Amino acid sequence: MSKKFKTQDYFRYPRLKNKWRRPKGLQSKLRLKKGGSGMLVSIGYGTKDLDRHTISGMKYAVVSNVKQLGNTDAKAVVISSGTGGKKSLEIAAKAKELGIKVLNMKKVRKSERVEKKIASKKAPKTDEKKEEKKKEKKIGFDEDVVPQVLGGKTKTYRLRDHGLKAGDKVVFENTQKGEKFGHAKITKVEKVPVEKFNLKDPEHYVVYNSMEELVEALRKRNPDKEVTPKTEMFAYTYEFAPLKEEK
pLDDT in tens, 42-97: 888 877 665 667 776 778 888 999 998 888 888 889 999 899 999 999 999 999 99
Q: Are residues 146 and 114 in the same domain?
A: no
User: Could you tell me if 111 and 82 lie in one domain?
Assistant: yes
Compute the distance between CA of residue 245 and CA of residue 96 in angstroms, rounded to an integer.
62
Tell me: the pLDDT tens digits for 228-246?
888 888 999 999 999 876 4
Instruction: Kindly report the backbone phi and psi dihedral angles of residue 172, in degrees, each rounded to the nearest multiple of 5, phi listed first.
Output: -100, 130
Is the domain of 81 the same as that of 10? no
Measured torsion, CA atoms of residues 184, 190, 195, 200, in degrees rounded to the nearest 10: -50
What pLDDT score does 131 carry?
A: 58
Are 41 and 140 within one domain?
no
Q: What is the distance between the alpha carbons of residues 70 and 127, in angstroms, rounded to a whole number? A: 46
Residues 149 and 226 in one domain: yes
Residue 247 inside a domain? The answer is no
Residue 26, pLDDT > 90, answer yes
Q: How far apart are CA 12 and CA 127, in angstroms?
A: 76
Burial status of residue 171 (CB atoms within 10 A of its CB: 0-12, 13-18, 19 or more): middle
For residue 211, being part of any structural domain is answered with yes
Average pLDDT value for residue range 10-27 = 88
Distance CA 158, CA 191 (A): 10
Tell whether 22 and 82 lie within a shared domain: no
Q: Are 182 and 241 in contact (CB under 8 A)?
A: yes
Q: Is residue 40 part of a domain?
A: yes
Q: How far is residue 247's CA from residue 237's CA, in Å, rounded to a whole number?
A: 31
The residue among 120, 145, 174 that closes a domain is 120
DSSP 8-state assignment for residue 5: S
Do residue 182 and residue 203 come from a single domain?
yes
Higher pLDDT, 129 or 119: 119
Give the angle 66-69-71 at the CA atoms, nearest 5°: 115
**What confidence tier does 247 reach under pLDDT thresholds 50, 70, 90?**
very low
Residue-range definition of the domain harbouring residue 41: 1-46
| Residues 148 and 198 both lie in one domain | yes
Whether the predicted pLDDT of 108 surpasses 50: yes
Asked if the structure places residue 19 within a domain, the reply is yes
- Please give the pLDDT value at position 159: 87
pLDDT at 36: 87
| Each residue's pLDDT tens digit, 212-230 | 888 888 888 888 888 888 8
Domain assignment present for 205? yes
How do residues 146-203 score in pLDDT, each as one tens digit? Answer: 898 988 889 998 888 888 889 999 999 998 888 889 999 999 999 889 888 888 888 8
What are the strands of the beta sheet with 61-63, ordered from one edge?
A: 61-63, 76-79, 101-102
Which of 120, 150, 165 is the C-terminal boundary of a domain? Answer: 120
Amino acid at 86: K
Total domains, the chain: 3
